[in-house]
Structure 1
């Protein structure tokens, strides 16, 4: 009998150095390692972490598998079009913790028109992470006015 399935969505990150990435995510975001599956050469073919109550999967880059020889790391691709967002209760502390662990500040923390204190980091493996914390409620009218003023 097949196990019961609970639908969810989880990012699956490709990195150079998945074991080092796990260490970084533990230090930067307080990740909990659920498990890892090393291949014969020691590279990780799969790993799963818990970050901020959600699952994040990752593996080392294997261009010979599934991608027709194309490396899929942000470094190889010249960046990442995806930003992973963490909504947290103490954004200043978490942001600084990630910087101390080795993240690069892309956008410093500041209060945004939508009501969050928000900033963006790049991890040492090229993935972008935004961190936010609601600091005030914004009405739909305020949001529309702020958008109109920004154009």
Structure 2
């Protein structure tokens, strides 16, 4: 906070004392900052587009072990290699928008394999998230939420 105030004060003094030089330098710095902001927004938009091409489905599966009854199926429909994918699981009653999964600090962490090539698929049995009291997993539908991924070329 103090450094920001000091920089602002210094810039104002230079702008008053040397207006032509300070204005030229300020415009150059503003242009550089705008270029960095555009690059960050473009990269974030590209990552969101690639995440949109992933197909991740979650469902209870009787063939999975009892301690990991949730079957996750992931297909990489993007044009890039998926290096890392993390998500949270939400549990909902049919047609309802209230998340019945208790997300606490000790909830399971859900991750895809380290590398998934474009067009390839992955499936694995995962543990259920802790549910609110009074709800059974067999009566709920599960959705992947808050996907965070990292892609490579």
Q: State TM-score, norm by structure 1.
A: 0.21
Point out the structure with the larger strand share: 1
RCO comparison, higher one (Cα < 8 Å, 6+): 2
Point out the structure with the larger helix share: 2
Q: State TM-score, norm by structure 2.
A: 0.21
Considering only CA atoms, is the larger Rg found in Structure 1 or Structure 2? 2
